[in-house]
Amino acid sequence: MLQLADIQAAAARLRGHIAHTPCEPSRTLSQISGAEVFLKFENLQFTSSFKERGAYNKLSQLSPEERARGVIAMSAGNHAQGVAYHAQRLGMRAVIVMPRFTPGVKIANTRGFGAEVVLHGDTLEAARAHAAELAAAQQLVFVHPYDDAAIMAGQGTAALEMLQQQPGLDMLVVPVGGGGLIAGMALAAKAVKPGVQVLGVQTQRFAAMVNAVTGSAHPQGASTIAEGIAVGAPGAQCLPIIRGHVDELLLVDEGDIEQAIVLLLEIEKTLVEGAGAAALAALLRHPARFAGKKVGMVLSGGNIDPLLLASIIGRGMVRSGRLARIVVSARDVPGSLARITSVVADAGANVDEVHHQRAFTLLAAQNVEIELVLQTRGHEHVAEVIERLRAQAMEVRRVQ
């Protein structure tokens, strides 16, 4: 069983090889949530993820014979980059098996660290099985992303840092996939500060750890924007530690995670991936659980596909009302569009898109539907724009 001494030894081993990331208060998120929020910026590691901690701790302890053989890992991206980067630093061959759904930015970064990338299967489990086959065929050392004591010990160093940086924390909130991060952190945190609470967060689409710990039967989904914690089965070595040291596991949905990504980008000017936003998503989803507490949240990673990020930002703008779609019915005569856009401009909104609909409408033939996508200040501003248009005897409806 993993011990505090193993995590402390890992912390000494990691010194000078990984970033000692900040754990800073967020006044704005604290005001929004009613909790005192502190953010652990693991997205500021060189490979933009906490996974470097476990990867280096594991690789640095391999024997000369094992280093000569090289290593293999399966990963949706962040463990891959951590292993690839530190294998390169230590002069080892690294083969990484990644599911085919892995974001392109993570594949490119992993190859950039000199690893041989193999894309196989649609799940981590399929990638793991193929990695095991390659390990046996090529005599490579298998580096598991979470179900390994050295990996857990390395990840647990994040908790030691957080409680050194912010000793007054009441809670640590940690994203959960296979369980390596929360197992190491929970064991370290409870040993250093027995009264601290440790809460894990999973997405509703991949609730394997929640099912294993609570006996629930949440169905497994096919995909999630938090692909870093999209794990079908918890680690066998992680599970008993989590059962003994984690106080509660919470579930969040995709919308919570999207909202958290946008908030962190806007408020903290920091970029996180879906899994990295899970802790804040839990705060947004379950505010009463955290009210009045000093809450430390792990921003576990920042490797997000740019196209996915663009989509999330756009959806966030719609959710907040800063992008709105309205349909105005008007006479199809010269000057109608000019009148509409003039009213919109006078109300302080900006036209982002315009589409005339003449054929697909139930209006009389001499009428037209004009669909506008507007940039506004929020929902109240949208309502003001609509009222001004209606005051000009125009028929207007908002499209959700």
> How crowded is residue 229: how many other Cβ atoms within 10 Å of its Cβ?
29
First-to-last CA distance in the chain? 53
Q: Where in the chain are the domains?
A: 4-45+149-315, 51-142, 321-399
Options 3.40.50.300, 3.30.70.260, 3.40.50.1000, 3.10.20.440; CATH of 321-399: 3.30.70.260
**Active site residue ranges:** 51, 300
Residue 306, SS3 per DSSP: helix
Tokens 């000793």 sit on residue: 167
Distance of CA 123 to the CA centre of its chain: 18
Q: What is the pLDDT tens value at each position of the chain, 400 positions in all? A: 899 999 999 999 999 999 999 999 999 999 999 999 999 999 999 999 999 999 999 999 999 999 999 999 998 779 999 999 999 999 999 999 998 887 777 788 899 999 999 999 987 778 889 999 999 999 999 999 999 999 999 999 999 999 999 999 999 999 999 999 999 999 999 999 999 999 999 999 999 999 999 999 999 888 899 988 988 889 999 999 999 999 999 999 999 999 999 999 999 999 999 999 999 999 999 999 999 999 999 999 999 988 899 999 999 999 999 999 999 988 878 888 899 999 999 999 999 999 877 666 655 556 788 999 999 999 999 999 999 999 998 899 999 7
Q: Give the torsion through C-alpha atoms of 213, 274, 298, 219, to 10 deg.
A: -10
Class of domain 51-142: alpha beta
Domain 4-45+149-315, second-level architecture: 3-Layer(aba) Sandwich (3.40)
Could you check whether 4-45+149-315 and 51-142 share the same CATH topology?
yes
The structure's pTM equals 0.90
